[in-house]
């Protein structure tokens, strides 16, 4: 145990300091806002994350590995991200100098820097953060359902680059002009709650990740979106077809200024392609359009469907460009979200020498957002669940 001379919080006599940073009433939750900032320590103190203990125990394995309460270490990682510290050493220094921080986090004694580093790098890692994310998100979904808050009916997906020029597994992207990774981020339009995430190299094609991410949202979390907003790289013909036929989701996507109609991609061509496969055992003479679509997909002849849905979306735009843009502008919110989070949380300066470690840190960043949303929900707050402007 590291022993340092520390002053207890009861010795702080400035009442204004106490009210702004810790909340005047110890029994009442103070929602952090720009007008009334609240210290991260106070938010951490209010977090009820006991439901995560079985998941943490599963990640730790044998009880003898528990040198410290794993829930306390997890709260320390959440503190790190909500506080906006750049380095883990900043968190460790806070533990040594802040009067009651170790106790608020749940420690009986102060862990070493090496123990904190081992937790995020080896004990939890990217697979562990994903497991914690899944359980935490499910808890939030239940809280939202109990309070009548719809979650995930409309979703936004976008990617954001992170420069990691010294990492051997990072790649160079000429569009961004950086060597690094990309964070694929799925959010709920109404609540801004993160619903899924993935990290790839910065040159990986965005469109390859849309279907797997939405599949997890539906199958793992039981969320069934009716509409997805995405930029051009997620909205190629194959994904437009997948959204409509596999997931039953309306895509609202970026329309390139040079986009043109695909030839031979109407219902007449769809029927013609269907009739060409009359020798198949699945072929039927008198069927509706939906059966024809299913049949072509099963026969791996979906190109006509991809072009069909490309034309359908382009027609929506051409019919009323202004109305379409009013819908699509919603997607810009996730770009603002990425910029805001990079600015406020220091995630752009994550110290990780490979994609596995970087993914673990991104996962912990998202866990901290979910934990902030959950503590608000648990205390009756139903709006601006992920807003962190009032945290200090």
pLDDT tens, position by position, 60-99: 766 666 678 889 999 999 999 999 898 999 999 999 998 7
Same domain membership, residue 261 and residue 242? yes
Asked if residue 166 belongs to a domain, the reply is yes
Same domain membership, residue 115 and residue 16? yes
Asked if residue 4 belongs to a domain, the reply is no
- Cβ count within 10 A of residue 92: 22
Does pLDDT of 164 surpass 90? yes
Residue 74 tokens, joined: 């997890």
Read off the pLDDT band of 329 (50, 70, 90): confident
Asked if residue 342 belongs to a domain, the reply is no
- The pLDDT > 70 percentage for the chain reads 89
Q: Note the pLDDT of residue 344.
A: 67
- Could you tell me if 221 and 149 are in contact, meaning their C-beta atoms sit under 8 angstroms apart? no
Encode pLDDT of 224-283 as tens digits. 999 999 887 888 889 999 999 999 999 998 888 888 999 888 899 999 999 999 999 999
Same domain membership, residue 129 and residue 32? yes
Q: What is the mean pLDDT of residues 281-306?
A: 92
Given the structure tokens 């820097």, which residue do they identify?
Answer: 113
Same domain membership, residue 271 and residue 162? yes
Does pLDDT of 110 surpass 80? yes
Same domain membership, residue 291 and residue 372? no
Q: How many residues does the chain have?
A: 392
- Please tell me whether residue 266 adopts helix, strand or coil conformation: coil
Asked if residue 56 belongs to a domain, the reply is yes
> 14 or 58: which carries more pLDDT confidence?
58
Which residues lie below 8 Å from residue 283, measured CB to CB, with a gap of 6+?
Answer: 274, 277, 295
Read off the pLDDT band of 7 (50, 70, 90): very low
Radius of gyration of the chain (CA): 25
Please tell me the distance from the alpha carbon of residue 59 to that of residue 61, in angstroms, as a whole number. 6
Please tell me the distance from the alpha carbon of residue 183 to that of residue 157, in angstroms, as a whole number. 10
Does pLDDT of 171 surpass 90? yes
Same domain membership, residue 203 and residue 327? yes
Q: Note the pLDDT of residue 334.
A: 67
Residue 59 tokens, joined: 């990640």
Please tell me the distance from the alpha carbon of residue 134 to that of residue 131, in angstroms, as a whole number. 5
Same domain membership, residue 130 and residue 217? no
Q: What is the mean pLDDT of residues 133-138?
A: 97
Does pLDDT of 139 surpass 90? yes
- Cβ count within 10 A of residue 307: 21
Please tell me the distance from the alpha carbon of residue 125 to that of residue 300, in angstroms, as a whole number. 38
- Could you tell me if 33 and 27 are in contact, meaning their C-beta atoms sit under 8 angstroms apart? no
Please count the structural domains in the chain: 2
Same domain membership, residue 137 and residue 158? no
Nearest alpha-carbon partner for 156 in 198, 194, 206:
194
Asked if residue 127 belongs to a domain, the reply is yes
Residue numbers of the domain that contains 205: 154-334
Asked if residue 3 belongs to a domain, the reply is no
Does pLDDT of 13 surpass 60? no
Same domain membership, residue 187 and residue 85? no
Asked if residue 2 belongs to a domain, the reply is no
Helix boundaries (H) for the chain? 15-22, 40-46, 53-60, 70-83, 88-97, 101-105, 113-118, 125-146, 207-219, 237-245, 267-275, 289-298, 303-319, 321-328, 332-345, 355-378
Read off the pLDDT band of 5 (50, 70, 90): very low
Nearest alpha-carbon partner for 158 in 337, 280, 313:
337
The least confident of 104-108, 262-266, 374-378 is: 262-266
Same domain membership, residue 163 and residue 96? no
How far is residue 192 from each of residues 63, 189, 214, 321, measured CA to CA in Å? 37, 6, 16, 26
Same domain membership, residue 160 and residue 139? no
Asked if residue 389 belongs to a domain, the reply is no
Computed over every residue of the chain, the mean pLDDT equals 87
Encode pLDDT of 218-229 as tens digits. 999 999 999 999
Encode pLDDT of 356-375 as tens digits. 999 999 999 999 999 999 99
Which residues lie below 8 Å from residue 171, measured CB to CB, with a gap of 6+?
Answer: 179, 180, 201, 202, 203
Which residues lie below 8 Å from residue 342, measured CB to CB, with a gap of 6+?
Answer: 160, 348
Q: Note the pLDDT of residue 63.
A: 63
Same domain membership, residue 115 and residue 30? yes
204-243 as b/e: b if 16+ CB within 10 A? bebbbbbbebbebbbeebebebebbbbbebbbbbbbbbbb
Whole-model pTM: value is: 0.87
Nearest alpha-carbon partner for 101 in 22, 19, 16:
22
């Amino acid at each position: 145990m590291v022993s340092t001379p520390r002053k207890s919080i009861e010795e702080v006599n400035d009442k204004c300091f106490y009210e702004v940073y810790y909340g005047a009433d110890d029994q009442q939750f103070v929602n952090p806002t720009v007008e009334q900032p609240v210290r991260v320590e106070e938010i951490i103190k209010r977090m009820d994350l006991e439901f995560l203990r079985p998941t943490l125990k599963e990640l730790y394995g044998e009880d003898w590995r528990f040198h410290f309460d794993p829930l306390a270490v997890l709260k320390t990682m959440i503190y790190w991200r909500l506080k906006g510290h750049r380095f883990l050493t900043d968190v460790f220094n806070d533990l040594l100098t802040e009067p009651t921080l170790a106790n608020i986090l749940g420690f009986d004694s102060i862990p070493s820097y090496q123990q904190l580093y081992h937790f995020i790098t080896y004990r939890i890692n990217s697979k562990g953060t994903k497991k914690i994310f899944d359980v935490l998100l499910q808890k939030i979904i239940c809280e939202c359902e109990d309070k009548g808050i719809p979650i995930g009916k409309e979703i936004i997906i976008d990617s954001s680059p992170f420069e990691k020029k010294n990492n051997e597994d990072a790649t160079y992207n000429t569009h961004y002009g950086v060597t690094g990774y990309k964070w694929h981020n799925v959010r709920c339009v109404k609540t801004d709650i993160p619903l899924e995430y993935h990290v790839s190299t910065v040159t990986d094609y965005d469109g390859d990740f849309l279907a797997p991410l939405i599949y997890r949202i539906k199958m793992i979390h039981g969320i069934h979106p009716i509409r997805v907003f995405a930029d051009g790289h997620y909205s190629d013909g194959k994904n437009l077809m997948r959204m409509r036929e596999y997931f039953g989701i309306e895509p609202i996507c970026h329309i390139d200024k040079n986009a043109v109609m695909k030839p031979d991609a109407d219902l007449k061509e769809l029927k013609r392609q269907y009739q060409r496969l009359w020798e198949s055992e699945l072929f039927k003479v008198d069927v509706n359009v939906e059966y024809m679509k299913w049949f072509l997909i099963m026969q791996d002849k979906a190109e006509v469907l991809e072009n069909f849905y490309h034309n359908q979306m382009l027609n929506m735009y051409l019919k009323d460009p202004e109305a379409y843009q009013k819908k699509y502008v919603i997607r810009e919110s996730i770009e603002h979200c990425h910029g805001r989070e990079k600015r406020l949380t220091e995630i752009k300066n994550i110290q990780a020498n490979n994609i596995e470690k970087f993914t673990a840190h991104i996962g912990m960043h998202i866990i901290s957002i979910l934990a902030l949303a959950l503590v608000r929900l648990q205390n009756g707050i139903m709006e601006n669940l992920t807003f962190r402007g009032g945290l200090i």
